[in-house]
A and B are shown apart, each in its own frame.
Chain A
Amino acid sequence: MKSQMIDSTPGDVLSARAAYNERLARLADKTRAVWFPLAILVILLVLPLLQFVGNYNYMLHLVLLTASYVAMAAGWNILGGFAGYISLGHNVFFAIGGYFAGMILARFGISAIIMAPVAGLVAAAFGYAIGLITLRVRGPAFIISSIAMVMIARLLFDNWHFVGGANGVTLPAPNLSSQWAKLPYYYAMVAIAAVTVWSSYRIKHSKFGLGLRAISKDEIKAESAGIDTRFYKVTAFAISAFFIGMTGAVWGEYLTYIRPSIFLVILIAANMVLMCILGGKGTVAGPVIGAVLLVAFNEFFVAMMGASELNILGTGVIMAVMLMFFPLGIVGTLALKGKLPRILNWD
């Protein structure tokens, strides 16, 4: 055994290693099911055709809602899942995107759907600036600072007369019949969700994403390995704010009003976190699965039982159970056991 190791030249070892890595990569390719998310996307794109044969507004609303949460959760996942910085305040960027696009719409009549990327950039700029400050700390201190961020934002928006204070601003509704009124927002939100998930896949497999994962494993080691951790973290913060800001922009116009009590409530931030924990933090499919399940659960509670308090209670219970028993989430737990179905392996 020992003599063998001495005999083998470094070149042999390296080529053996390369072959091994290649085999692993091929294995991953074979188990990854790219066709599945694409198929879902195609189905979602043709789904509104149902409006020709009947009224499926509620279903479209649900898809739209789910898509908005997919985008937010997948956006949150870039900072919280990949880099490991848990933020309970990311709804601030939801609000920034919503308010920016909403005010443009109210003042200049430019649709938030067109302005969404700009709103995302504004949110990203805020994210970058806030990240420069709050990412100085990590762990519980970072979590608490993110809560403080929401409280400060809420107080500011509640008292900012230009944006209507606590009453917010009513936005003009689109000039479409109720049959088709949802469609622009539907397509916008599905597109944003798809772009966000695809981006998170690309980020995860980039050098940048590798750096983020190194930070979440051991930040000091990552730093000593030559990763500019500060730049990586702050950039991840800005990118996640970008996607959430875009979502906020479309969401505000869809609701036809912007108001602090819509954007800056803790349940929205909690949902983003919970969706990722439920589906699997740091995985690509996790936030999507989490969003679908949680929206279904919320609808069940609110629509069937009509009590938002019970909804909060149930959200808390699910979160506690997941944290205690399945901290890796659905995707993570199944993958660990080697039982992840191929259609859910998007990583």
Chain B
Amino acid sequence: MEQIIQVTILGIGLGGVFALMGSGLSLVFGVMRIVNLAHPSLIIAGAFTAYWGFRLWGIDPLVMLPVATLLLAAIGVLLYKIFFERNAKSATYSEMTVLLTFAIAMIIEGALGAMFSNTQRVTSPSYATDAFFLGDIFIPKGQLYAGMVSMLIIGLLAAFLKYSRLGYAIRATTQNRDAAALLGVNVNMVGLMSFAIGIGLAGAAGALTSFVFSFFPAKHWEWIAVLMSLVVMGGMGSIVGTVVASFGLSIVAAFVGAYVGSTWSTMTFFLALFLVLLFRPQGLFGEKPELL
């Protein structure tokens, strides 16, 4: 029993971070219909920002989080301007953008690798290796903090989308782009802002990731499949769905890791992605497939 609780707690801890990683991806897909394969590589860029803040100046990664967010948001704007503003209305637009984001992922991986080399790194503030104990159950502080901050940011994002003027415009564009344009929404600007916010969230997730996982530039390939499993299962474009899928899959993965073998825990995500894509492409909660 205790072990079950313990494993569940570890799963929840990871789920929080994955939820934040996935929500930015989901936002960008919702508004732009772009499957951003470069998202995980941008998370790594965010992790490097926090890492160097800590290594060079001893700044806590949680303090570096806003810096990483803003830096990556700026990169997001840049990527949008360079690659996605020219609204390609071809029939293969969605397919073309997937390959384009694949190319961007390689560019970012290559740039990070050339600058910082492909060695494993982790940011190590004191709490990263510390834990709370409740009887025999331990709660790693790093994961706890990261999970809580993630939830806080997702809460802020949800409130922003629910109540702000831009939030209305983003939701409206996600649900019906043409109707939004007819009501006076500048959908191009909404696309730009959703890119800035979505990639900014990747930066925030990266700062948290930097002390939860070890990372290196080429690691993002593994995360692509992990994150895709979350957003596809949650129903592409649905942030609530992404969060639910993150916690659900992370807990399952924690159990697989504990009872089957730690090497197989990521297999949970890959298999889930495969199965959901093929048998329920609209996601667990969606009504119509968005990806086809």
- Chain B residues with CB under 8 A of A320: 83, 100, 103-104, 107
21 example contacts (A-B, Cβ-Cβ < 8 A) are as follows: A137-B281, A140-B291, A141-B277, A141-B281, A143-B95, A145-B274, A147-B224, A147-B225, A148-B273, A148-B274, A152-B274, A155-B263, A273-B99, A309-B113, A309-B118, A312-B113, A313-B114, A319-B106, A320-B100, A323-B96, A327-B96
**A137 contacts B278, C-beta separation under 8 Å:** yes
- Chain A residues with CB under 8 A of B150: none
Among the stretches B8-16, B157-165, B169-177, B264-272, the one at the interface with A is B264-272
Q: Could you tell me the distance between the alpha carbons of A136 and B112 in the complex, rounded to whole angstroms? A: 36
A328 to chain B, nearest CB (A): 12
Closest to B41 in A: A316
- Chain B residues with CB under 8 A of A323: 96, 99-100, 103
Is A206 an interface position by the 8 A CB rule? no
A-B contact count (CB 8 A): 133
> Which secondary structure dominates where chain A touches chain B?
helix
Q: State whether A313 and B270 are in contact (beta carbons under 8 Å apart), knowing that A139-B291, A320-B103, A327-B96 are contacts in the complex.
A: no
**A316 contacts B35, C-beta separation under 8 Å:** no
Is B187 an interface position by the 8 A CB rule? no
**B292 contacts A86, C-beta separation under 8 Å:** no
A313 to chain B, nearest CB (A): 3
Is A144 an interface position by the 8 A CB rule? yes
Is B222 an interface position by the 8 A CB rule? yes
Closest to B220 in A: A266
A144-B98, A152-B274, A309-B113 known; 19 new pairs, CB 8 Å cut-off, are A136-B278, A140-B95, A141-B289, A144-B228, A145-B277, A147-B221, A147-B224, A148-B225, A148-B228, A151-B266, A155-B264, A270-B106, A316-B103, A316-B104, A316-B107, A317-B103, A324-B83, A324-B86, A324-B100
- Chain A residues with CB under 8 A of B197: none
Q: Could you tell me the distance between the alpha carbons of A79 and B292 in the complex, rounded to whole angstroms? A: 18
Among B102, B225, B229, B271, chain A packs the most CB atoms within 10 A around the CB of B102
**B98 contacts A314, C-beta separation under 8 Å:** no
Residue A141 contacts which of B86, B224, B291 (CB distance < 8 angstroms)? Answer: B291
**B94 contacts A139, C-beta separation under 8 Å:** yes
B235 to chain A, nearest CB (A): 13
- Which B243-292 residues sit within 8 Å CB-CB of chain A? 263-264, 266-267, 270-271, 273-274, 277-278, 281, 289, 291-292
- Which B198-240 residues sit within 8 Å CB-CB of chain A? 217, 221-222, 224-225, 228-229, 232
**B107 contacts A313, C-beta separation under 8 Å:** yes
Is A331 an interface position by the 8 A CB rule? no
Residue B277 contacts which of A137, A151, A314, A316 (CB distance < 8 angstroms)? Answer: A137
